[in-house]
Structure 1
């Protein structure tokens, strides 16, 4: 049943981390960094988020003493220091939580328990249903059900247990929630170093409270308790009132956040992708990508099995057949294969899926294929199951030879879920796929990019009301998980054939939804589906890198990092860990007394990049730390990593592009992410020098000039902006001339800089405060700049207000080509959420249109390249730029043809200008 009240989940972060650390084996990533606790936390977080809470906070203890330490100096005094391998996982945990869009709360002077208790009761009083995610028994004192129909419940994510009523607490502890504090005071808490009544365990404490009601009642009757336990009780009487204070969770902490300010922010997908990849969280990475493959050591399923399923309500009531397994056949004989080939030839469309032995499609070996011809009728064709006693299977090469004509028939429609992966696998096994007509991941993404994740499991739950089989159900989990080639054929058939079956069913459910929205169907048919084989070709081509050059850069970066460390030590006057935010915060703010100008969500001083930039003019140390961090990131992310990612067969690096990532339609890149290489720094540009052309060929880069500003001019129809672009003038100088009332030749560098900041800032919802900080001017002066800008460009102001209003009325905005971005928070009562949705409403049409334009250009250029015999290859797409590898004698032709198609990819009210460059490497081509 859909809940009638909004839900708040309060996560006891410290509890999560310690429980995961002690419950899981000492795991580590390829670099030897500990990951066991982090792995457990990430899985618990994913389980929590898949339940779709309205509000969520991750609450951790702030550093420093609390009021309990002042009351009782021995409080928690016996606890050993945090193990080094656990401490190393704290910052990565916070980085992942932040990237997931979850607010982290730390309040000095109190414990996380007190912050959670305060928020829980505030939220419940406001009609918000509260779940506290923890394994700490102390929170049982907060369990309740209020007259307004909401309550406070506890859930232990690790065990799955739940306490949501007085009866549940009574059953667990033998006392009511309001007696838990007294219960704990009597027993004491060895973990927190609170001595209770000697030899008084839970049964005795519950018995006394059952007889005397409260701790005060027990104290009043202490003289009638007989035996040794009575003596112990009487000896403990002086400390029991303090015990009660120590075990009572405060519910009146002064907070700068209300429960309604804890809505989920937009995920930082690129950051998550980097973090998940670094720490080896392959399942989380697959779930993030909306349908990728399974573990390197197991058969690949082209959807994320998921740690937990989405509980989003399905959009249609599932019919009876969807709750039952289909008729699935294991194909082991030539007669069966021929019969299925006949069925596949007889139908107008069929769904297919591959099972493999690796996550990387450029290295994966085919284990089997599945097909579905109608809902409930599917088959699994095993080709490489090799466990002891496995039945004989058809020869892989001979079988693929039989299948090759079917897949090569462009008139036969093929359906898939994240099928680009399958296209790669089949191509590498000599089977080219033509007629790839529909992809359920992309159907869902275009229909509503933000309604759900786009992996098969999530889509089946939402659109079919069906729970798919988990990979772990057939292959096991953890250290005992087996490769898919080791899965018994009965289980493999049930799992793999379901993939194809569900894909077909999803297509039958989603296709009518798109057909009912002609604008969305055009985006799907004319942009997203034609782009699939284009991206597959770019990925398969890959890009050549100079490993020796990167190794030289790594050595240089290492030397400069060491120099920065030595300089930082000199400036600090002592050694400290440059990678420890805690140590850095103590040094900067406690010892050097620098101002904490940027705070974390909980109000603690921040040491992130923004915080260090804000104080870099007051002391040299923050600038040195920033330099060190920048060098370390380049080295770990690119110069050290890229040479290791060269494919041993092709000798190239092969990134993966993701269509169903950003809601605006922008492509994302991973493994490696080649879209985040810095372009504004010398070191970032130097990395691009390592992307090279082989002998006799050149690198050509073609990129759109100021495309989002041009789209703003088109959408706003502002006469001033249209004239500026039509004239071909420097748009920022032209803007400055308008705003400051000067001739364009008289515009100063600072005035152009201010105009540029306004031009780009307005597209991203920059406020006067943000502009003032960027330009280093007073806020009032920045506000005057913006007001003057709008007075000179009234069409822009009108466009922005019109867009906000349309978003409020419709709940979504559109690109020039009809792609929609739904804005769930556009009517939110919370001002912060609403303001964020309004900023997205302004930016999404421009960013989304830019994404659509370059996708259209890629499709057109790819079609032309198909007839050029490999003289030019498209090797990279990076935001508004396309990169090619071209025969030296063919460069002029490529530049002319590519730029012409890029310029013609959209008909706007202003010209689409494309810049190009040529060189032996990517940097030279800029």
Structure 2
């Protein structure tokens, strides 16, 4: 079936402009809208439509302006940075071979409507690519709408009905009643889509609604009757014309041959690297060369169209590699000699599991120079696999190199490989560089720091994926079953690309002394520390958790029964659809929070918003809280006990949060709720073995202390220097009374202000938290700033720095980018400003505890009991807290030294204070 794609260019240009951050190319030219439109066009062209057109509005008035002079009169003038992107957009569209249509006197909608119906009547399958809801009136057999930004598609009356509550032939009437604020078409006052759809369901059409207007009661009926005179005009304005006299017919809109040279120049100028890379055939340009005996060549290099970001790169860093499979003793000896002679080398491990605490080694790869790497298979056991060197013998031969602290090693997310080698008897020393962390420190705000993404970004290199050699889904085989030739191409490439990335990223860090310090002094020393903490693990009382699961189940059942009683009928508390029907249709509770599609939400925020109006939302929230505790912790943690160690081992992530805070997973031990009694109970199951105790050391109000340091506010500095209760001291300042006279409610208000300002809370949020009026909350904030002017000045100074530089920094120089600080979207911009204030405090707190972990780990290294076992183990890091497992006899020394080491991890203008406690379990230690 021949297809025609009609693209609403004007709609996409505006939507991309407002949806994306204000991107620019290297010359400072705006590219955000252009980037969005180009990506959308590339998506359509991948589907290879036979006919296509890019339709935009022509300049000048249209027939609608003659009908209604106020049509679109409320639209602001086009921003200059958007206007600058129109001409390059047209150049790219033309170079792609897409016909461009502009018809004076009508809108792009009318041109699209006319062509769509002509094409459908001629037997073509028509796709209208737009984000404009008005086009739903055109949906019919052979005419579908697709929104490439949201991925939604409407191709039937049923789809239109599901989205708008009316048929496609009723969309014009729906829009006539609702009006269109964007086009300045006023509808019936207070008539939204649901009311309009309800009227049309009852009366059939706009004419039917007009005829039955007298029967519609209440204020909305009065509003309808007041608007009756203008509804016929509304209908003319919102109806898309389908009979425009056009010079082109659908048959004239064939996709033409693209102008590759013009596209190359345009893509390079505007920095569209992925589009540039795809221009000449993508990965097909990098075919794998025929293998010599014992050697595999790296595949996936995109030979043509190197991204603009890697122009000027040393060709050796982006050329295909030569990889050797090590199967004999002479080959192994030769590679050990190369590793000994190299100043540094990259290494990587291949295993049979993603869990580093249980993974068995299948092979090792090494690289000593770009393009040169080897793979040593150690555990491939498929039928017909060639003979391999004995694993133990290979590890013994490599041990001196891997355990030599003077020999620099580098990896990509090397903590995993440190675990694997430790499990096989080798404690790696001299781990000097990690490309994941180099990328993270340089560009913490980007989403991905994995090797495949970094290779694309920095080398223009398309790596071989795990699925390429092991398969996907149910058909995926373990790496031990992968053919050794394929394994060599994949595994040796990992080591090779890691070395190449280091050669690119390291100079960039060297050029930024503050970032280099964060990398060298904080992140890299932390890698082996985190590996030890993860390997130590924590002991869990599985029986205690099972008892808690049973209790949670009983309480969940009671909550279900209570909910059924309140609802007057049974329903599924886990079904959002049933909850919506019950809460908003039957109980008529207000839907104060909506989903992105505009439907009533039943998430936690939505239920909290209406919990004061009916008891049922609060019961549902209680049920959900209990269910989450059971499924996430009490049921799951016993299953995660490692059978080899008898402990639970979490994984810490350094390159997760842009602020530098550590996160944990498998299991996530940083989000155990501690504000509820049930959450605190879970910590009682984290226990010490016989003869040992758990010790918890926690920074006290560290972010407020960092605020005092950064703002240099005299009153805050004085309060912390004197060791005062900071919230009581704040209340005394704000309310102008002695600390002894501060009431509990006044201290609570001061605490809310202290912490709220750190996270950018305004008067609305403070009012909601304290249960007071917004005006009173605003007065509190004004009083706070009058007593702490240094804080106000710091906040404004930081916002301005963010606007000027596009980033803020921690005390130690970690850089936190703020992509939306200049966004035209007020909500995005306000969020970026809040982040600008909070990030230096949260990031500095993260840096401090990382520095503390390195110092404490170093101090614990030689602390041994008479049996030779470690006197104490660091077993958990949770936000601002470190948890240890220690011999009873060693606890006093630990309590003396660890808080001192933690307090000495940073020299601020106020003292750092560390609270500590001891217990048989984690909860007791608080």
Q: Same fold (TM over 0.5)?
A: yes
The aligned residue for residue 351 of structure 1 is 346
Does 373-382 or 465-474 show the bigger shift? Answer: 465-474
For residues 446 and 8 of structure 1, what CA distance do their matches in structure 2 show?
35
For residues 9 and 456 of structure 1, what CA distance do their matches in structure 2 show?
33
**1:180 counterpart (102, 116, 132):** 116
**1:522 counterpart (509, 517, 520):** 517
Shift of 1:586: 1.8
Distance 1:683 1:167, change over 3 A: same
Distance 1:810 1:788, change over 3 A: same
Shift of 1:452: 5.0
Shift of 1:601: 3.9
For residues 872 and 526 of structure 1, what CA distance do their matches in structure 2 show?
24
**1:779 counterpart (767, 774, 780):** 774
Shift of 1:319: 4.4
Give ranges in structure 1 of 5+ residues lacking alignment.
12-52, 58-100, 102-122, 153-162, 169-174, 190-199, 207-241, 259-304, 306-310
1:913 paired with 2:922, answer: no
For residues 131 and 781 of structure 1, what CA distance do their matches in structure 2 show?
49
For the Cα contact (< 8 Å) 1:129–1:150, is it kept in 2?
A: no
For residues 139 and 760 of structure 1, what CA distance do their matches in structure 2 show?
59
The aligned residue for residue 901 of structure 1 is 901
For residues 127 and 683 of structure 1, what CA distance do their matches in structure 2 show?
47
Q: Secondary structure at the match of 2:309?
A: coil
Distance 1:386 1:128, change over 3 A: closer
The aligned residue for residue 131 of structure 1 is 40
**2:475 counterpart (467, 480, 484):** 480
Residue deviations 1:658-692 (CA, integer Å, cap 9, x gap): 00000000000000000000011100000000000
For residues 35 and 369 of structure 2, what CA distance do their matches in structure 1 show?
50
For residues 448 and 256 of structure 1, what CA distance do their matches in structure 2 show?
41
Shift of 1:607: 1.6
Residue deviations 1:447-474 (CA, integer Å, cap 9, x gap): 1111451100111111112111122222
The aligned residue for residue 28 of structure 2 is none
Distance 1:255 1:655, change over 3 A: farther
**2:502 counterpart (504, 507, 516):** 507
Q: Secondary structure at the match of 1:503?
A: helix
For residues 139 and 181 of structure 1, what CA distance do their matches in structure 2 show?
17
1:177-216 paired onto structure 2 within 5 Å: 178-181=114-117, 183-184=119-120
The aligned residue for residue 416 of structure 2 is 421
1:256-335 paired onto structure 2 within 5 Å: 314-335=309-330
For residues 186 and 565 of structure 1, what CA distance do their matches in structure 2 show?
58
Greater radius of gyration (CA): 2
Q: Secondary structure at the match of 1:314?
A: helix
Distance 1:128 1:346, change over 3 A: closer
The aligned residue for residue 762 of structure 2 is 767
**1:385 counterpart (367, 380, 388):** 380
For the Cα contact (< 8 Å) 1:732–1:752, is it kept in 2?
A: yes
For residues 811 and 757 of structure 1, what CA distance do their matches in structure 2 show?
29
The aligned residue for residue 885 of structure 2 is 885
Q: Secondary structure at the match of 2:40?
A: strand
Distance 1:7 1:476, change over 3 A: farther
Distance 1:318 1:482, change over 3 A: farther
Shift of 1:128: 5.6
For the Cα contact (< 8 Å) 1:367–1:485, is it kept in 2?
A: yes
Shift of 1:321: 3.8
Shift of 1:710: 0.3
Distance 1:151 1:647, change over 3 A: same
The aligned residue for residue 585 of structure 1 is 580
For residues 174 and 414 of structure 2, what CA distance do their matches in structure 1 show?
53
Shift of 1:590: 1.5
Structure 1 runs, 4 residues or longer, greater than 6 Å off: 5-11, 53-57, 123-127, 132-142, 185-189, 246-258
The aligned residue for residue 925 of structure 2 is 925
For residues 249 and 595 of structure 1, what CA distance do their matches in structure 2 show?
27
Q: Secondary structure at the match of 1:368?
A: strand
For residues 487 and 254 of structure 1, what CA distance do their matches in structure 2 show?
62
For residues 365 and 178 of structure 1, what CA distance do their matches in structure 2 show?
65
Q: Secondary structure at the match of 2:892?
A: helix
For residues 431 and 717 of structure 1, what CA distance do their matches in structure 2 show?
49
For residues 748 and 719 of structure 2, what CA distance do their matches in structure 1 show?
17
For the Cα contact (< 8 Å) 2:445–2:817, is it kept in 1?
A: yes
Residue deviations 1:34-57 (CA, integer Å, cap 9, x gap): xxxxxxxxxxxxxxxxxxx88769
Distance 1:565 1:139, change over 3 A: farther
For residues 633 and 167 of structure 2, what CA distance do their matches in structure 1 show?
54
For the Cα contact (< 8 Å) 1:7–1:54, is it kept in 2?
A: no
Distance 1:508 1:320, change over 3 A: closer
Give ranges in structure 2 of 5+ residues lacking alignment.
1-8, 22-31, 59-85, 91-95, 102-110, 126-139, 145-165, 184-299, 301-305, 865-869
1:652 paired with 2:647, answer: yes
For the Cα contact (< 8 Å) 1:9–1:56, is it kept in 2?
A: no
For residues 246 and 777 of structure 1, what CA distance do their matches in structure 2 show?
46
**1:626 counterpart (598, 614, 621):** 621
Shift of 1:600: 3.2
For residues 642 and 553 of structure 2, what CA distance do their matches in structure 1 show?
25
For the Cα contact (< 8 Å) 1:685–1:923, is it kept in 2?
A: yes
The aligned residue for residue 867 of structure 1 is 862
Shift of 1:313: 5.7
Q: Secondary structure at the match of 1:698?
A: strand
For residues 551 and 312 of structure 1, what CA distance do their matches in structure 2 show?
55
Distance 1:721 1:682, change over 3 A: same
The aligned residue for residue 707 of structure 1 is 702
The aligned residue for residue 86 of structure 1 is none
Q: TM-score, normalised by structure 1?
A: 0.71
For the Cα contact (< 8 Å) 1:124–1:150, is it kept in 2?
A: no
Distance 1:313 1:644, change over 3 A: farther
Distance 1:867 1:573, change over 3 A: same
Does 829-838 or 903-912 show the bigger shift? Answer: 829-838
The aligned residue for residue 490 of structure 1 is 485
Shift of 1:442: 0.4
For residues 605 and 625 of structure 1, what CA distance do their matches in structure 2 show?
16
1:673 paired with 2:582, answer: no
RMSD: 3.7
Q: Secondary structure at the match of 1:131?
A: helix
For residues 124 and 811 of structure 1, what CA distance do their matches in structure 2 show?
20
Distance 1:571 1:257, change over 3 A: farther
**2:403 counterpart (408, 422, 427):** 408
Q: TM-score, normalised by structure 2?
A: 0.71
